[in-house]
């Protein structure tokens, strides 16, 4: 094994160990995160920090979540291989790439056209053919493709948006951060039943706010 290959193998092992130590234990999620290199999703000044468990800034004033949070959110969704999934907040595309290894189909929306275009280019490079990325106001979901088995929201709202709740299948799960400020947010899991919704609070988090309308670039 060359020094470079040994370094990559060591870095991957440390990466997976860090995920497990933060509570990411689902084997399918860990396998998906081992397959998807975070490096291509981070460009510019912070590229050398791609393998650290920390959030990093990306274009359009957004962030790429730390891998352990990506793993915990993916795990909380309990995705099955037959699921059709909606992600609100494409960002770098890293979370959607992880989900593409867990679900049958992933639809991801972002209000910033630049982010959608850049993420779509990476999806093509990685041959992730089961992801459809769309520039749209994610707070309204994707009515044309609804209902969804799973919905993941990567921006914080005061309450789970009504249009997204309506697009969740009976028996479906939505995971999202909720909170009135960027200082106080909780990650919650919403499960839809015939008679209503169950809400489980999971852990404190910090995400950018969910903003209505399209970004200035799109």
Catalytic pick among 65, 68, 74, 92: 65
The reported pLDDT for the residue numbered 94 is 95
In a domain, 212, yes or no: no
Interval 168-184: pLDDT, tens:
999 999 999 998 766 67
**Positive or negative: CA dihedral 121, 208, 25, 14:** positive
Closest CA to 88 of 156, 158, 182: 156
Mean pLDDT of 123-144: 94
Give the dihedral sign, CA 150/199/170/141.
negative
Three-state DSSP class for residue 125: helix
pTM: 0.90
Dump pLDDT digits (tens) for 46-70. 777 777 777 777 776 777 788 999 9
CATH of the domain at 63: 3.40.50.150
Q: Is pLDDT of 1 > 70?
A: no
pLDDT higher than 50, residue 27: yes
Q: Which domain holds residue 27?
A: 1-205
Q: Do the domain assignments include residue 214? A: no
Paired residues of 201 in beta bridges: 188
Indicate whether 160 belongs to any domain. yes
Alpha-carbon gap, residue 89 to 91, rounded angstroms: 6
Q: Is residue 135 part of a domain?
A: yes
Asked if pLDDT for residue 4 goes beyond 70, the answer is no
Q: Is 68 a catalytic residue?
A: no
What are the CA-CA distances from residue 23 to residues 12, 29, 80, 92, 173 (Å)? Answer: 17, 12, 20, 23, 20
């Amino acid at each position: 094994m060359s020094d470079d290959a040994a370094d990559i193998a060591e870095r991957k092992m440390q990466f997976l160990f860090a995920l497990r130590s933060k509570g990411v234990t689902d084997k399918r999620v860990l396998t998906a995160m081992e397959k998807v290199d975070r490096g291509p999703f981070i460009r510019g000044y912070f590229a050398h920090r791609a393998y650290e468990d920390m959030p990093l800034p990306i274009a359009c004033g957004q962030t790429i979540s730390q891998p352990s949070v990506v793993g915990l959110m993916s795990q909380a969704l309990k995705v099955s291989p037959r699921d059709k999934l909606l992600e609100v907040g494409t960002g770098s595309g890293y979370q959607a790439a992880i989900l593409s290894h867990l679900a049958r189909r992933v639809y991801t929306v972002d209000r910033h056209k630049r982010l959608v275009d850049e993420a779509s280019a990476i999806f093509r490079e990685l041959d992730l053919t089961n992801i459809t990325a769309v520039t749209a106001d994610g707070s309204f979901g994707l009515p044309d493709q609804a209902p969804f088995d799973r919905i993941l929201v990567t921006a914080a709202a005061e309450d789970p948006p009504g249009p997204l709740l309506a697009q969740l299948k009976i028996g479906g799960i939505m995971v999202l951060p909720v909170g009135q400020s960027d200082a106080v947010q909780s990650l919650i899991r919403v499960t839809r039943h015939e008679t209503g919704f169950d809400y489980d609070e999971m852990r404190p988090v910090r995400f950018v706010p969910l903003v209505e309308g399209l970004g200035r670039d799109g």
